[in-house]
Structure 1
């Protein structure tokens, strides 16, 4: 259950980060309105706050989050940008999600190696 809860929170966190970075990109490169910077700043603030909700040490949270971010960014690429994903995209996302799962499973481990 912890992996599913963590995964869901990471997906929301990744979406907040991606939106917060995409909106300034859209403003600068695609001719969007400068008003896009306001929701971008809010989204990045939300991203930072969401990272604080995890019970593990920050380094572990960031490491595990990275795997979910990669997968979420590829879904964004497909859905928002309309780019067809390659088999290696899917494989890479799968590998990062397995890595995230391994890190999250180890959060409760009392063994230090």
Structure 2
């Protein structure tokens, strides 16, 4: 699995898992919504272990940019909120930062 695929899968799993808890606590959904939320969050954690990185912290940091972009897609598609230029610019900055972190040439320690 490629790093990009792992990050996208992790983002979907994390957002879905967190939304399940949000729905239970804020949208008055039944408590059983927690179960798929927990499974989704476990999948999220597993997918991050598939990222090709020698350091977990670096993999997590780079994932942050993908998570932000995915959250904006969720905001638009699921919650129906129109993104403004600042949302789009912010996502671009975050993805650029994530790309720098994950693909920069490294000198072995």
Q: TM-score, normalised by structure 2?
A: 0.92
Q: SS of the residue aligned with 2:83?
A: coil
Determine whether 1:41 maps to 2:38: yes
Residue 52 of structure 1, aligned match among 41, 49, 63:
49
Q: Which residue of 1 is the match for residue 66 of structure 2?
A: 68
Q: SS of the residue aligned with 1:59?
A: helix
CA distance in structure 1 between the partners assigned to 2:64 and 2:107 by the alignment:
23
Q: TM-score, normalised by structure 1?
A: 0.88
CA distance in structure 1 between the partners assigned to 2:107 and 2:11 by the alignment:
28
**Contact 2:66 2:95 (C-alpha < 8 Å) held by counterparts:** yes
Q: Which residue of 1 is the match for residue 80 of structure 2?
A: 82
CA distance in structure 2 between the partners assigned to 1:8 and 1:93 by the alignment:
18
Kindly report structure 1 stretches of 4+ aligned residues shifted beyond 2 Å: none
Count of equivalent residues: 107
User: How large is the RMSD of aligned CA atoms in angstroms?
Assistant: 1.3
Determine whether 1:28 maps to 2:25: yes
